[in-house]
Structure 1
């Protein structure tokens, strides 16, 4: 199953860092947060990634093109124009990097990568947040209900898309954030059936608006409630929180050995 990562936004709320690089490339523990998300998925056996790029897309492409320079010791033989990689650990990843446009909205970015997905269900999340959700349980839940979309929901007092969920875990409505909200929110880490593409029109489509609202109205949007750790990185304060967790050795999303 493919994992789609949204990594093309401008990241204006953390502009101190994102004016130099895309927000998903901001580092936690000397590795981009995008890398942390991919490592987490990989531990559950998901190794095939499609990354939606836009703002400063070349930074992401250069990172993967020069992956061994970032992760291994190397010897350059300038006389022979060769490079030797030492202690090479190769991730079991297939990474497809797609330019989905500089100003394309989230739904438009997903629409653009449809040719790389085909007629199969896929995972989807944002390239700026980590958590310790059980991805196998999430997928099993999605497969059990037969609806078009499942999103991981978290109960946290932050300003994200707000959901109304009934006792059967059916999302009855989806609306944009409001200042007074402190309800269940969209935490990303979604599973989507290919039918979702029919809800996406063009580059101006915002996934979290009309498509999600329609899915909710039609009873096709389900909630997988996660009560554990979840944290996005919208601000310098949140970036520092994640960095402190990493440096303490207690980062909840770090479930790998090296």
Structure 2
């Protein structure tokens, strides 16, 4: 099953660095947060990724093009015709397709643009700026068991986002603005989608969280997978610093992989 990563928007400018590169390429522990998210999925056996790029998309492509340089020792031997020797090369078992989905395209439009790369199989989708210790394999099994078109992961945290109206059968009935400290669950991304979801997306101006997901909720085709563990987005400098501190402590909750 392919994993689609939304990494193309301008996003929240959380630091001077974020003016120079896409937010998913901002580093936690010396590696882009996008890499951290991919490591999570890879730990659970999902190694094929489609990156929906846009803002400064060339930087994402260049980073992956030079990935082996980031993880290996290199000898540049100019005495032998500029020979390059890679020592102890470490490569992730990944297949990564980086797609320029446009500078001003909305989230739904970005997903629509990568339809040809997904094909006719169910796929996973998440945002390129949030990490979690979610069991992705269990999420996929939950999605397959209920048979609906879409599943999104919900978390119960004190956040500023809109919240979900969820029934007793985990069906998402509606999206709404949150009330202060009302304790309702929010959309944490980490979705599983049937390819028929593409039919709910009109074009570049479509916001995934509006007409497509709201439409699926109205017809009973959107389920919630509740994750009680760790989840953290990176929308502010404070949140970025929090993730960096957790990583530096050696006990980052989302680091479920060994190496």
TM-score w.r.t. length of structure 2: 0.96
Give the root-mean-square deviation of aligned CA atoms. 1.1
Contact 1:123 1:192 (8 Å CA) reproduced: yes
Contact 2:152 2:223 (8 Å CA) reproduced: yes
Residue 15 of structure 1 deviates from its aligned partner by 4.4
Structure 1: gaps (5+ residues): none
Residue 16 of structure 1 deviates from its aligned partner by 2.8
Contact 2:122 2:193 (8 Å CA) reproduced: yes
Deviations 1:97-131 (A, max 9, x none): 00000000000000000000011000000000000
Q: Which residue of 2 aligns with 1:187?
A: 188
1:67 aligns to 2:67 (yes or no) = yes
Alignment of 1:61-100 (within 5 A): 61-79=61-79, 80-100=81-101
Q: Which residue of 1 aligns with 2:42?
A: 42
- Point out 4+ residue stretches in structure 1 off by more than 4 angstroms: none
Deviations 1:139-184 (A, max 9, x none): 0000000000000000011122311000000001123x44636420
Counterpart-to-counterpart distance in 1, 2:38 and 2:136: 12
Deviations 1:68-122 (A, max 9, x none): 1211111112242221111111100000000000000000000000000011000
Contact 1:162 1:185 (8 Å CA) reproduced: yes
Q: Secondary structure at the match of 2:14?
A: helix
Structure 2: gaps (5+ residues): none
Q: How many residues align?
A: 257
Moved more, 37-46 or 71-80: 71-80
Q: Secondary structure at the match of 1:12?
A: coil
Moved more, 246-255 or 78-87: 78-87
TM-score w.r.t. length of structure 1: 0.97
Counterpart-to-counterpart distance in 1, 2:167 and 2:192: 19
Q: Which residue of 1 aligns with 2:171?
A: 170
